[in-house]
């Protein structure tokens, strides 16, 4: 599902699921490695999580300046390990620019996904 924010016309939120189609191998997913690119290969500003819900970390910003502790990374959606046949949610927020060229793709580290119904230009 692709969503456009009313007050942020260049921003997009894409929600879906990824599935490990392997029959033998686990895949390790890291939201920090998710890359959104346009047809020209230009990397778009983006942020991703393997979660459909917001979860609060155990520490405040001042207490954990280097980000969430390792034990929190899966709970917060920053990483997932999928066994064969397992699925996980994936939410990606990204920003179009006037020079963005379709089609747009999301590389999540385990494969590349086309963005369905992605607009062709910013502010479309």
pLDDT of residue 2: 86
- Give the CATH number for residue 100: 2.60.40
Whether 110 maps to a domain, the answer reads yes
CB 79 within 8 A of CB 31: yes
**Helix, strand, or coil (residue 88):** strand
Number of domains the chain contains? 1
| Sequence-ordered alpha helix ranges (H) in 13-107 | 70-73
Whether 68 maps to a domain, the answer reads yes
Q: In which domain, by residue range, is 90 found?
A: 2-114
pLDDT digits (tens, 9 = 90+) for 34-57: 999 999 999 999 999 999 877 666
Dihedrals phi, psi of 71, to nearest 5 degrees: -65, -20
pLDDT digits (tens, 9 = 90+) for 62-105: 555 566 667 778 888 889 999 999 999 999 999 999 999 889 99
């Amino acid at each position: 599902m692709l969503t456009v924010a009313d007050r942020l016309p260049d921003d997009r939120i894409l929600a879906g699921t990824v599935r490990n189609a392997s029959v033998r191998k686990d895949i390790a997913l890291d939201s920090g490695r998710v890359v959104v690119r346009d047809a020209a290969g230009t990397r778009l500003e983006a942020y991703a999580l393997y979660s459909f819900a917001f979860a609060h970390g155990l520490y405040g910003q001042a207490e954990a300046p280097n980000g969430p502790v390792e034990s929190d990374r899966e709970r917060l959606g920053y990483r997932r390990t999928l066994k064969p046949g397992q699925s996980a949610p994936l939410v990606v927020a990204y920003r179009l620019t006037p020079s963005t060229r379709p089609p747009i793709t999301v590389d999540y580290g385990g494969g590349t996904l086309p963005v369905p119904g992605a607009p062709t230009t910013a502010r479309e």
